[in-house]
Structure 1
């Protein structure tokens, strides 16, 4: 009966392990490594006690031989556990990099001076998807765009200005949302302390049909602008960004060290 119970528990654990999968190609390797780790950490306690006696002086050759044998087994198991933990870390890191946080580099000139060409910054990819921290105007976001000479990598990073259902107008270097000028220092405006961020430039080359025209952001879309408004290819020219095309939110600039901080 006890053997059957142990067999049932082991069977249940194998079933649970088999359901743990990060991706299709890591599944068999992950199952094998988890089983190895489980085996290695369930050694009998008396084996550990025997290993502790290995350092003692004992003139009984039979006991010395037994202790040496157990100690060698312990070393092999310890090495196996260390290798297992390292190998298990790889799929976990891949999962985190793909679904939780990733490191990006540069943003061209369109987000200067906030993000410069050689900057590296962290982008979180999950909080807004889970509804824990929704995207809001002022956030810097990354998103997919069709590949073109302006976007050779098929991705871009800009500042979120307005969400679906809001009206946007650019006039006299201000951006207006629902009739109100955005004067927070997250946005460009004539009173911004950084001289390079004191204007959003209006245009008639894109979705605005006159320099001070007003547009309505469609539901499920975003209106974005670059901090370096004079050179940025943003919603003024490429239109609104679909919510499903957003891939992350920039939350920390990490390199170079003297530029470390929240952008």
Structure 2
């Protein structure tokens, strides 16, 4: 279900009903009331006037919901949008059940549904955690870390990430973390952004020869390196598929009671 499309349709329908009532249907109701009073030669009682002037239920609902839906559409499309993390591909940065906020204007203002950029602002940087429409299925949103920018050369061999021929620095934090038994917890420095990743030392994982990121595209990877469906498998993210930058976790919910103890900024 494309919620953005449903929201746009709801705003359009309620707005059109409200507009038609303001310029046509409302005037017709008032004209009928005036004609009836003129025919009777006297003003009707208040109860009769209310019944004759009463708005039909579609108009009543549209007048009530249109302003609310419009505000939600503007905020969700141009300011901030909430998402829920459905998989563990970004662990340990993001856990399954985390509810995140995505900045919609960091990378420029885009039209809802068609995602065309109206105003250019910043471009994604290495290390950003980015939400985008999955190139193979644009109705599905993915969240990954930006690893390669347009023109970068990316290689991944032996659990080591290389950008433009240089190994991305990483250091071991824990050999057998409790939250991910049998794997390694490392801190990786991608550009100026330090973040934690998981690697499985017993699984060779994918080996990727050096690729150059085309103009207008980005190369992304999950922080849970051996459990992430990312650019190593399906290719690059086109610029027009970008949704926004994830910047905060505001709630965690795993089916029980919601928890606000994990509220944090995303690095």
User: TM-score scaled to structure 2, two decimals?
Assistant: 0.57
Q: Helix, strand or coil: the match of 2:69?
A: helix
1:30 Cα offset (Å): 6.7
> Contact 2:198/2:224 (CA < 8 Å) preserved in 1?
no
Partner of 1:124: 103
1:140 Cα offset (Å): 0.8
Q: Give the structure with the larger strand fraction.
A: 2
Correspondence 1:42-121 to 2 at 5 A: 88-121=67-100
Partner of 2:217: 221
What is the root-mean-square deviation in Å for CA atoms of aligned residues?
Answer: 3.3
CA distance in 1, matches of 2:226, 2:167: 19
Partner of 2:232: 236
CA distance in 2, matches of 1:176, 1:33: 62
Please list the CA deviations of residues 183-203 of structure 1 after superposition, one character each: whole Å capped at 9, or x if unmatched.
3xxxxx344578162549651
> Contact 2:92/2:198 (CA < 8 Å) preserved in 1?
no
Gap change, CA 1:147 and 1:216, over 3 Å in 2: closer
Please list the CA deviations of residues 196-224 of structure 1 after superposition, one character each: whole Å capped at 9, or x if unmatched.
625496514xxx3xxxx211111111100
Aligned length: 180
User: TM-score scaled to structure 1, two decimals?
Assistant: 0.58
Which structure has the greater CA radius of gyration?
Answer: 1
Q: 1:160 aligns with which of 146, 155, 175?
A: 146
Unaligned runs of 5+ in 1: 1-21, 35-83, 184-188
CA distance in 1, matches of 2:248, 2:21: 34
CA distance in 2, matches of 1:162, 1:174: 14
> Contact 1:173/1:190 (CA < 8 Å) preserved in 2?
no
CA distance in 2, matches of 1:236, 1:128: 23
> Contact 1:168/1:216 (CA < 8 Å) preserved in 2?
yes
CA distance in 2, matches of 1:241, 1:91: 30
Gap change, CA 1:258 and 1:181, over 3 Å in 2: farther
Q: Give the structure with the larger helix fraction.
A: 1
Unaligned runs of 5+ in 2: 1-9, 23-62, 109-118, 175-183, 187-196, 253-259
Q: Considering Cα pairs closer than 8 Å and 6+ residues apart, tell me whether 1 or 2 has the greater RCO.
A: 2
Please list the CA deviations of residues 68-99 of structure 1 after superposition, one character each: whole Å capped at 9, or x if unmatched.
xxxxxxxxxxxxxxxx8986343112221133
Partner of 2:262: 259
